[in-house]
Amino acid sequence: MEAINPSSGRKDNLTMIAFTVVVLTAPLWGKLIGADYPDLLQRFAIFGLFAIGFNLLFGLTGYLSFGHAAFLGIGSYTAAWSFKLLSMNPIPAVIFALLLSGLFAAVIGYVSLKRTGIYFAILTLAFAQMSYNLAYSVLTPITNGETGLRVLRDDPRIIDTALGVEIQGPLLGSFFGIEMTGYSGFYFCAVMLIAGFYVALRVFRSPFGMKLAAIKSNQTRMEYTGYNPKPYLLAIFIISGMYAGLAGALMVIVDPLAGAERMQWTVSGEVVLMTILGGVGTLVGPLLGAAIIKYFENIFSAINESVLLATFDFLPEGLQEFMVTIVHPFVGGGWHLTLGILFMSVIIFMPGGIMEGIRHLTDWIRRRKE
Amino acid sequence: MSDDIKTYSTLSRRGFLKTSVAGAVAASAPMFFVKNAHAFTNEPKGSTVTFGFNVPQTGPYAEEGADELRAYELAVKHINGEGDGGMLNTMKPVSLKGDGVNGKKVIFVTGDTQTKSPAARASAKRMIERDGAIMITGGSSSGVAVAVQSLCHEQGVIFMAGLTHAVDTTGKDRRRYGFRHFFNTEMSGAALAPILESEFGNQRLAYHLTADYNWGWSQEGSIKKHTEALGWQTRAAVRTPLKEVDFSQYITPVLNSGADVLVLNHYGKNMVDSLTQSVQFGLRDKQVNGQDFQIVVPLFSRLMARGAGDSIKGIYGSTNWNWSLQDKGSEAFVKSFGSEYGFPPSQAAHTCYVQALLYADACQRAGTFHPCDVIAALEGHQFDGMGNGPVEYRAEDHQCFKDVLVVKGKEASSSEFDLLEVVEVTPRAKVEYPTTMQDANYVGDLGSCRRV
């Protein structure tokens, strides 16, 4: 496992600096790919965090959870309720979302981790679907069902009322007066992402991470050397769940609305795709995967016929229409198709995800230099 | 780096702090890109102005969404002076001259709401933040309309609601930046009740199946209120998930409930499925309490009627507009829509087309795109010649008040489009409600328009 290898402190410092710079300058390089608007950048950061957390469990221990959407949803609802009951400040929302998603992860993890492999995946999936259906049916007083949980003007907001904080304009998350929307919302998510990345890096390099890798390679052997794998598994499951909870809370912080579809199994599936697409068990891979999928969802899906016609405007008329006919099924509503093709080719040609591709590329360049 | 944990730990806390400082320096760079203060959001600078069309392209209301998009494209053509001009020729008063709006050509961007509030907000945000849309319009669900309307209000962009029928949109969730041309559940209830009484009597026991989100709740509440005032009783009201396609588990209890009227508070594909299955279960052939069993669909549309086939024959409901109307505005719209796409438009297409024209006209009258001035131009605006007779945009809640159509599924239809017959045109006075209604769903706060 390359990722687990102890490496020099300097190299990690460099990684951290490079990562921080890349994340914080996203609005600059986002321009190159038409992604320089806050909503998409927020999504990059939030789903990046979600995928990093998922990868801590799946990448390190090999336990494939198919129910991480449940923690995302729990984080969202907790943050929304914190907005409604306590304050529009994102700090309590983040804290409570972390606590509650951690608690749920402990319960779900305790039960699910009694099994491994496909049985574990099915158990987590079952829990997530259960949460999803509960949110739609008996829990509607808490979740507001299909309509989604919104923050309203006449909510109590105890802390805000006590401190005399009055929200004048629209009801948005407010970090000591800074509205959590647009680029300020993105920077809040970015700081969380950097912190989350740092924690993940520490886990990867720690003795704890080493034990997780041991669980992945051979659990029985680990037991023979005198370690009980269960506490480590549960601990990383909880950490991973808290990442998802944090991501869910951030969604509400930048856009105060929580809906049950965040708990649907497709969301759990999406994070699995992100991780595999980017590279399982690598630090940066899941982030890349998350960014690619969100980019496709938001940019490719928005390309309609008139945009295509404008793009192929330089061609003669017949050829222009021909190109539009060819390309049209792959963009707009057909963005899933393009993503599917990309996903299949990555899995077939680079089973290690995009990170493997990048490694091949750098190796090749190095060999050429020699 | 401390020595004792050298093998594993690499990045120390201090190192992290240093990193963060370096990061903070880097962070100050992109701050230059924070939106500089415009006079208002997305003020059009060039020779064009961008409208954002946010419609469901996937999900249970996808068919309505596709028709809405067709209508919008037609509206843009007419505003820009292409095609035959459609309702621009019949609309009164009209300031649009068929050369764009305020001298700018209209272009548009599109988004998919998926009939999910978060997805709809994400695509609206993209159109506002990236594509520079001056106005967002569309949608075929009240859940989505309410969510997108409050987003637009926060962003300072006008939202012209598409098909949304719950009272909430212009009731408790009304916003200064949001406008609705479509009618609502309160009007449906008020228009339907007298017809239901004369057709089915006042000794009825009703059973509701309701789509489980704000529109369904609103529709159920209004029908209950107006039918119970006639003397009907409500046996039960069961909520069904929006994604449901198999309603058999909900219909079987209806058979044994002793109810003699089934009210389907469903729309789009939901209604097609639930109605077809109810008919297949033989509900309409039954006799209960000595009366024929009846089905009512409070919100009817031709698209749904077509999906449900023979099941809709003789079924009562209400609708905002139907293509068979004979006034000049409707005829002009049906003609240009038909020659463009080869079939008549739905009520969803009609309301969206009208909304786009009304917005453009308001900008032209205001002489600017500044939302505060456009809002002022729309509030209390009275117009005619757009298919519904004289209409008023009530200033207090941004709801259009106009006549409502009560329709019935045609027994003998002449074509696949000729499916509904208009039973009654209920005049505006009978469906209008005061702004002072003391019901939690009808009381709201518009908020104010923000001038920077």
Last residue of a domain, one of B367, B397, B427: B397
pLDDT in tens, A93-137: 999 999 999 999 999 999 999 999 999 999 999 999 999 999 988
Complex-level ipTM beyond the 0.85 threshold: no
Ranking A145-159, B210-224, B306-320 by mean pLDDT, the lowest is A145-159
- Name the residue type at position A176: F
Comparison of pLDDT for B31 and B114, the residue scoring more: B114
Residue A216: half-sphere exposure toward Cβ, Cα within 13 Å? 21
From the list A6, A145, A333, which residue is nearest B7 (CB)?
Answer: A6
CA distance B250 to B265: 13
Q: Is A173 a residue whose pLDDT tops 90?
A: no
Which residues of chain B are within 8 Å of residue A147 when distances are taken between CB atoms?
117, 143, 146, 213-214
- Claim to verify: residue B247 and residue B349 sit in the same structural domain: no
Comparison of pLDDT for A321 and B317, the residue scoring more: B317
pLDDT value at position B8? 47
Res. B221 pLDDT band, cuts 50 70 90: very high
Which residues of chain B are within 8 Å of residue A37 when distances are taken between CB atoms?
125-126, 129-130
Provide the mean pLDDT of chain A.
90
pLDDT value at position A296? 87
pLDDT value at position B33? 41
CA distance B3 to B17: 19
Residue to substitute from B2, B4, B7, B11, interface A, most A β-carbons within 10 A: B11
For residues B322-346, give the mean pLDDT.
94
CA B27 from chain centre, in angstroms, equals 42
Q: Do B10 and A301 touch (CB under 8 A)?
A: no
Q: Is A161 a residue whose pLDDT tops 50?
A: yes
Q: Distance from A94 to chain B by nearest Cα, in Å?
A: 20
CA distance B363 to B370: 8
Tokens of A334: 């057909």
Residue to substitute from B41, B109, B130, B446, interface A, most A β-carbons within 10 A: B130
pLDDT value at position A169? 67
- Claim to verify: residue B257 and residue B246 sit in the same structural domain: yes
pLDDT value at position B16? 58
pLDDT value at position B35? 42
The answer to the question of residue B3 being in a domain is no
User: For strand B105-112 and strand B135-138, is the pairing parallel, antiparallel, or unpaired?
Assistant: unpaired
For residues B206-221, give the mean pLDDT.
93
Last residue of a domain, one of B299, B319, B339: B319
Which residues of chain A are within 8 Å of residue B117 when distances are taken between CB atoms?
147-148, 257, 259
- Claim to verify: residue B67 and residue B121 sit in the same structural domain: yes
Measured in degrees and rounded to the nearest 5, phi and psi for residue A350 equal: -135, 80
CA distance B262 to B236: 10
Res. A8 pLDDT band, cuts 50 70 90: low
- Claim to verify: residue B72 and residue B158 sit in the same structural domain: yes
pTM of the model as a whole: 0.83
Instruction: Out of A25-39, A307-321, B262-276, give the one with best mean pLDDT.
Output: B262-276
Chains A, B: CB contacts under 8 A, how many?
A: 150
Residue to substitute from A7, A8, A24, interface B, most B β-carbons within 10 A: A24
Provide the mean pLDDT of chain B.
89
Residue of A nearest to B243 (CA): A146
Q: Is B386 a residue whose pLDDT tops 50?
A: yes
- Claim to verify: residue B53 and residue B164 sit in the same structural domain: yes
CA distance B72 to B359: 12
Q: Is A1 a residue whose pLDDT tops 70?
A: no
Q: Do B122 and A43 touch (CB under 8 A)?
A: yes
Interchain contact B33–A (C-beta under 8 A): yes
DSSP string, B249-261: HHHHHHHTTT-SE
Ranking A268-272, B247-251, B435-439 by mean pLDDT, the lowest is B435-439
The SS3 call for residue B164 is coil
Q: Is B2 a residue whose pLDDT tops 60?
A: no
A207-217 vs A38-61: helix axis angle to the nearest 10? 60
Task: Give yes or no for a contact between B401 and B304, defined as CB atoms under 8 angstroms apart.
Answer: no
Residue of B nearest to A144 (CA): B213
pLDDT value at position B366? 95
Q: b or e along A29-65 (b: 16 or more beta carbons within 10 Å of the residue's beta carbon)?
A: ebeeeebbbbbbbbbbbbbbbbbbbbbbbbbbbbbbb
Q: Is A24 a residue whose pLDDT tops 60?
A: yes
CA distance B74 to B82: 9
For residues B61-89, give the mean pLDDT.
93
- Claim to verify: residue B56 and residue B173 sit in the same structural domain: yes
Res. B440 pLDDT band, cuts 50 70 90: confident
The answer to the question of residue B301 being in a domain is yes
pLDDT value at position B6? 42
The answer to the question of residue B443 being in a domain is no
pLDDT in tens, A211-268: 999 999 998 999 999 999 999 999 999 999 999 999 999 999 998 889 888 898 989 9
Task: Give yes or no for a contact between A59 and A74, defined as CB atoms under 8 angstroms apart.
Answer: no
Ranking A205-209, B17-21, B299-303, B309-313 by mean pLDDT, the lowest is B17-21
**Range of B295's domain?**
186-319
**How many distinct structural domains can be found in chain B?**
2
Ranking A8-17, A165-174, B55-64, B302-311 by mean pLDDT, the lowest is A165-174
From the list A39, A181, A194, which residue is nearest B126 (CB)?
Answer: A39
- Claim to verify: residue B290 and residue B341 sit in the same structural domain: no
Neighbours of A89 (CB within 10 A): 22
Q: What percent of chain B has pLDDT above 90?
A: 67
pLDDT in tens, A144-160: 887 788 888 888 899 98
- Claim to verify: residue B53 and residue B179 sit in the same structural domain: yes
What residue ranges do the domains of chain A occupy?
Answer: 2-265
- Claim to verify: residue B312 and residue B193 sit in the same structural domain: yes
User: For strand B135-138 and strand B158-161, is the pairing parallel, antiparallel, or unpaired?
Assistant: parallel
For residues A305-316, give the mean pLDDT.
81
pLDDT value at position B31? 42
- Claim to verify: residue B310 and residue B244 sit in the same structural domain: yes
Residue of A nearest to B126 (CA): A39
CATH of the domain at B198: 3.40.50.2300
DSSP string, B323-346: TT--SHHHHHHHHHHHHHHSS---
Q: Do B118 and A24 touch (CB under 8 A)?
A: no
For residues A189-200, give the mean pLDDT.
96
From the list B26, B117, B153, which residue is nearest A259 (CB)?
Answer: B117
Q: Please list, in sequence order, all residues whose beta carbon lies within 8 angstroms of the beta carbon of residue A198, skipping any fewer than 6 positions away.
A: A16, B11, B16
Res. B303 pLDDT band, cuts 50 70 90: confident
Interchain contact B282–A (C-beta under 8 A): no
The answer to the question of residue B298 being in a domain is yes
Residue to substitute from B106, B125, B452, interface A, most A β-carbons within 10 A: B125
Q: Distance from B129 to chain A by nearest Cα, in Å?
A: 6
pLDDT in tens, B228-284: 999 999 999 999 988 888 999 999 999 889 999 999 999 988 999 999 999 999 998
The answer to the question of residue B267 being in a domain is yes
Which residues of chain A are within 8 Å of residue B22 when distances are taken between CB atoms?
17, 20-21
pLDDT in tens, B91-124: 989 999 999 999 999 999 998 888 888 889 988 9
Helices in chain A by DSSP H: which ranges? Answer: 9-24, 26-29, 38-61, 68-85, 90-112, 117-136, 140-143, 158-163, 182-205, 207-217, 219-224, 229-254, 265-278, 285-298, 305-311, 317-327, 335-349, 354-369
Helices in B231-384 by DSSP H: which ranges? Answer: 248-255, 268-280, 302-308, 328-341, 347-366, 371-378
- Claim to verify: residue B155 and residue B207 sit in the same structural domain: no
Q: Is A6 a residue whose pLDDT tops 60?
A: no
The SS3 call for residue B95 is coil
Q: Do B129 and A145 touch (CB under 8 A)?
A: no
Which residues of chain B are within 8 Å of residue A13 when distances are taken between CB atoms?
10-11, 15, 18-19
pLDDT value at position B11? 55
Comparison of pLDDT for A75 and B92, the residue scoring more: A75
Q: Is B364 a residue whose pLDDT tops 90?
A: yes
The answer to the question of residue B440 being in a domain is no
- Claim to verify: residue B175 and residue B56 sit in the same structural domain: yes
Comparison of pLDDT for B18 and A357, the residue scoring more: A357
Residue of A nearest to B449 (CA): A169
pLDDT value at position A336? 81
